[in-house]
Amino acid sequence: MKYLSLSLTVLFLFSCKQKNMPKNTVVINNIELGVEIAITPQEKNKGLMFRETLEKNTGMLFVFESEQTLNFWMKNTYIPLSIAYINKGCVIVDIQDMQPSTKDKNILKSYPSAKPSQYALEVNQGWFTNNKIKVGDKLIFKMNNLKFNCE
């Protein structure tokens, strides 16, 4: 019974954490977006896999140690997404729409960045267009207990 109670408590806390995940914010053109942060290899590999929805005005920010050509795919991702690739100066250098994975698991389309990037920001498809955000716009970090510097 003790283990069942502990398991239920952990499950409850995890579900609460999932619903209130974005505690960090990025700002682009005075528009705030709540973001989950993916820093560890495990967080980056999982990304937004297996989710059926993504709340409005939220997304996931992937953080890399240095600029490089980034390459994303939509394995086990069910939500149509848009991705912005962002350089070390926090300037958007590329925006692409990405389609959910197909039933044929052997076919995974790749979405490489057009230019070297240090960050990638995934949001619901159309969010950048709907908010008139484009290549050349700058991202500002408003993070709780996390420090990211733009050069």
Beta strands in the chain (DSSP E): 24-28, 31-38, 58-68, 71-73, 81-86, 92-98, 110-112, 117-124, 139-142
Task: Say which CATH topology domain 22-142 has.
Answer: Jelly Rolls (2.60.120)
Task: Show the tokens assigned to 20.
Answer: 């209130």
Show pLDDT as tens, one digit a residue, over the chain (151 residues).
Answer: 444 333 333 333 333 344 445 579 999 999 999 999 999 999 999 999 999 999 999 999 999 999 999 999 998 999 999 999 999 999 999 999 999 987 666 678 899 999 999 999 999 999 999 999 999 999 999 887 667 777 6
- Cβ contact 79:73 at 8 Å: no
Distance of CA 64 to the CA centre of its chain: 12
The DSSP bridge partners found for residue 110 are: 73
On whether the CB atoms of residues 67 and 42 are closer than 8 A, the answer is: no
| DSSP code for 13 | H
Q: Where are the domains of the chain?
A: 22-142
Q: Which of 52, 118, 107, 104 is nearest to 81 (CA)?
A: 52
